């Protein structure tokens, strides 16, 4: 069928604090259609919580940012689709005491990322300036985690953003 190659399956990308990523096809979730009163979309540990959720097409770029100032950039195709309630795959390797704070979805490497720290400092970087690293790595330094700057509290930009504590 000539139209079949234009069909894009929508996915929901979920990021939890461990930091595990789950890519779930939207069609199998069936949220809000009365099939089940509660649907588990991703498995969570007792001390885990959801950091971000994004609607994607399965072919975007993903950027994860940690409170230690590191950012990892990889292809969404590196995250395999999984079923409801799956644990997910490792999105980023963290140092002890660090946590992932932002999930960003990019359509172009010319989009920018703004990383902000608790002491009011920030840095805006074009995504192409980051090294395109693989899923599960520590990533690259987006901003210095120093006494002057403090820890990173958020990452935004002209990307679509789902960040911890963001409205």
Sheet holding 160-163, edge to edge: 140-141, 70-75, 61-66, 100-106, 160-163
Paired with 161 in beta bridges are 104
Q: Tell me the whole-structure pTM to 2 decimals.
A: 0.81
Confidence of residue 4 (pLDDT cuts 50, 70, 90): very low
Confidence of residue 1 (pLDDT cuts 50, 70, 90): very low
Confidence of residue 5 (pLDDT cuts 50, 70, 90): low
Contacting residues for 17 by C-beta, under 8 A, at least 6 apart: 48, 49, 51, 99, 100
Q: What percent of the chain has pLDDT over 70?
A: 81
- 112-119: average pLDDT: 92
pLDDT of residue 30: 58
- pLDDT tens, residue by residue, 22-68: 888 877 655 555 555 566 777 777 888 888 888 888 888 999 999 99
pLDDT of residue 166: 47
Angstrom distance (rounded) from CA 112 to CA 126: 4
Cβ neighbours, 10 Å, residue 164: 19
């Amino acid at each position: 069928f000539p139209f079949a190659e234009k069909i894009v399956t929508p996915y929901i990308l979920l990021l939890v604090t461990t930091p595990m990523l789950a890519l779930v096809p939207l069609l199998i979730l069936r949220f809000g259609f009365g099939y089940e009163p509660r649907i588990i979309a991703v498995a969570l540990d007792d001390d885990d919580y959801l950091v971000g959720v994004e609607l994607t097409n399965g072919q975007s770029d993903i950027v994860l940012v940690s409170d230690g100032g590191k950012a990892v950039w990889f292809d969404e195709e590196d995250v395999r689709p999984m079923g409801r309630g799956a644990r997910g795959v490792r999105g980023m390797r963290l140092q002890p005491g660090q946590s992932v704070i932002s999930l960003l979805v990019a359509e172009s490497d010319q989009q920018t990322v703004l990383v902000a720290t608790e002491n009011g400092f920030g840095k805006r970087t074009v995504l192409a300036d980051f090294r395109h690293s693989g899923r599960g790595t520590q990533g690259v330094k987006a901003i210095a985690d120093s006494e002057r700057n403090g820890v990173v509290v958020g990452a935004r930009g002209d990307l679509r953003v789902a960040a911890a504590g963001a409205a």
